[in-house]
Amino acid sequence: MTVAIVGIGAALPERTVPNSHFTHLDTSDEWITRRTGIKERRFMAEDGHLADLALDACRDALRSAGREPGDVPRLIVATTTPDRVTPGLAVEVASRLGMPYAAAFDLHAACAGFVYALDHATALIESGRAASVLVCGAEALTRITDRDDRSTAVLLGDGAGAVLLADVPGAPAPRFVLGSDGDLIPALYADRRDRVLRMDGREIFVHAVARMSEATREVLALQELTGDDLDLFIPHQANARIIHAVAKEIGFPEDRLFLNVHRVANTSSASIPIALAHARDEGRLGASGLLGVAAFGAGITWGAGVVGW
Q: Which residues does the annotation mark as catalytic?
A: 111, 236, 266
From the list 90-98, 151-159, 162-170, 279-287, the region that binds ligand ACO by CB under 6 A is 151-159
106 to 233, 246, 255, 288: CA distances (angstroms):
25, 29, 34, 29
Whether the CB-CB separation of 2 and 171 falls below 8 Å is answered with yes
Contact between 151 and ligand ACO per CB under 6 A: yes
Angle between helices 89-97 and 50-65 (to 10 degrees): 50
Contact between 36 and ligand ACO by CB under 6 A: the answer reads yes
Residues 43-82 contacting ligand ACO, CB under 6 A: none
Choice from 27, 33, 95, 288 touching ligand ACO (CB under 6 A): 27
CA 182 to chain centre: 21
Q: 150 or 256: whose CB is closer to ligand ACO?
A: 150
What are the start-end ranges of the H helices in 129-197?
A: 150-153
Single residue of 6, 166, 188, 291 touching ligand ACO by CB under 6 A:
188
Count of all residues that appear for the chain in the document: 309
- The strand ranges marked E within 70-225 are 74-78, 103-107, 132-140, 158-167, 175-180, 188-189, 198-199
Q: Is 184 in the site for ligand ACO (CB under 6 A)?
A: no
* Residue 31 or 105 having the CB closest to ligand ACO: 31
Give the H/E segment covering residue 234: strand 232-235
Window contacting ligand ACO (CB under 6 A); options: 1-9, 95-103, 177-185, 200-208: 200-208
DSSP-assigned states of every residue in 3-48: EEEEEEEEE--SEEEEGGGGGGGS--HHHHHHHH---EEEE--TT-
Q: Nearer to ligand ACO by C-beta: 36 or 64?
A: 36
Contact flag: residue 298 with ligand ACO (CB under 6 A) = yes
In eight-state DSSP terms, residue 111 is B
Helices 29-36, 240-250: inter-axial angle, 10-degree rounding: 20
Q: Cβ of residue 122: shortest distance to ligand ACO, in angstroms?
A: 24
137 sits near ligand ACO (criterion: CB under 6 A): no
| Minimum separation from the CB atom of position 66 to ligand ACO (A) | 33
164 or 294: CB nearest ligand ACO: 294
Where along the sequence are the contacts to ligand ACO (CB under 6 A)? 27, 31-32, 35-36, 110-111, 141, 150-151, 154, 156, 188, 197, 199, 201-202, 204-205, 208, 238-239, 242, 266, 268, 297-298
